[in-house]
Amino acid sequence: MISAQRQKYNQQFSSEKYKAFLQKLEEGLIKIPFRVAETPVFVPRALKEKLIEAGDEIIRLIKQDNFKALTEKAIPEEWRVPNENGQSHFLTFDFGVCKDEQGDLTPMLIEMQGFPSLYGFQHHMGKKFKSTFDLDDTVDYFLNDFNEEKYIDLLKKVIIGKHQPHEVALMDVDAHNQKTAIDFLVTEQMLGIKILALTDIIKEGKNLFYQEGAEKIQIKRIYNRLIFDEIASDPEILSKSFDPRETLNIEWATHPNWFYRISKYTMPFLRSRFVPETRFLNQVATIPQDLENYVLKPLFSFAGMGVIIDVHPTDIANIKDPENWILQRKVNYEPAVQSPTGGVKAEIRMMYLWADGEEPQLCINLARLSRGKMIGVRYNADFDWVGGTIGFMEK
């Protein structure tokens, strides 16, 4: 999208460089199970400023005094966790790159989460792109004047808090076998925290522990990467470890309830030129005449699961729980990233860290490139110049 950067990058690109880049990404870690794109996204200053403005508007809603009241029904009662804190430690907002009526590139909000993203891997990837492809200093994957040192310091403050690294666990249902395990490993190297599967955690009374050789170490804080959807079909797994819904002597980064509060559920409350018309399905009195311009999304799913892109009236009629769905006007992505074989659609995730007692800070980003109907690495495995990547933004 920055034409000079794109032209320079495409001219010096080679499959050999791309292979070397992937080898650097995986070196000392694991083989990446998802597709990493051949290129970063070069984001011009004007689009970067709109992305920042859009994020600021969303944060104003989240910081409203009544935000918890607005989103109280977002949390499924069967997954409500006690001792919720006053803020999410992580904010991630996904924007499709589109064109406005004037023909200028503009972001449109697709999804939002009060849940961690690939905060370790994105920094790792940005460094490898920069060194492998000799990207200049007029663009950067960090935002808001962050650099490596400042970024890692804030990550430590948010994830580790006042504890020692060995007292903090990055937890997921089967952490070492998740598709995002490479992010876990990078985070472990950066921060010194422990990676644990759910069943690695031992509960004694209200305290949690893990075994390190002959020593039993108490966990004081959990860097939570567990999504309850992943264990809903196997609730017995909690009996083999601990149940997060119990009252425990543990701190959360971030508390599980924020996954639901800051989510697709929040979008109907937003009014912005950067947010497509979004309504709870049970509040749609009349089905739009131009239903082909809308998409149906379940509130409680992730990674695009369950989304109905080509909506028919029968799809709406067949939904038994319309209160758990949104009807959203489709966003028309602009194929703005020029690959050697044509334009590619892009989505940019703006990633914030929010330390206790401080303000949310925009630090870094994630990008995804797509030629398919849906954005996301799982939907683009058979194409090239698509997949997970990062935005290098004009300073």
Same domain, 297 and 380: no
Same domain, 272 and 296: no
Same domain, 282 and 263: no
Expressed as residue numbers, the domain containing 308 is: 277-329
Number of domain units in the chain: 2
Same domain, 295 and 206: no
Query: Does residue 337 lie within any of the structural domains?
Result: no
**DSSP-based helix, strand, coil % in the chain, nearest 5:** 35, 25, 40
Same domain, 87 and 27: yes
Please spell the DSSP secondary structure of 69-117, one letter per residue. Answer: HHTGGGS-GGG--SS--SS-SEEEEEEEEEE-TTS-EEEEEEEEESS--
Query: Does residue 386 lie within any of the structural domains?
Result: yes
Query: Does residue 341 lie within any of the structural domains?
Result: no
The pLDDT of residue 345 is 96
The pLDDT of residue 376 is 56
Q: State pLDDT tens for residues 111-125.
A: 999 999 999 999 999
Query: Does residue 336 lie within any of the structural domains?
Result: no
Same domain, 320 and 378: no
The pLDDT of residue 236 is 84
What is the rounded radius of gyration, in angstroms, for the C-alpha atoms of the chain? Answer: 21
Same domain, 188 and 252: yes
Query: Does residue 356 lie within any of the structural domains?
Result: yes
| Res 231 pLDDT > 80 | yes
Tokens describing residue 345: 């659609």
Q: State pLDDT tens for residues 249-294.
A: 999 999 999 999 999 999 999 999 999 999 999 999 999 999 999 9
Same domain, 155 and 292: no
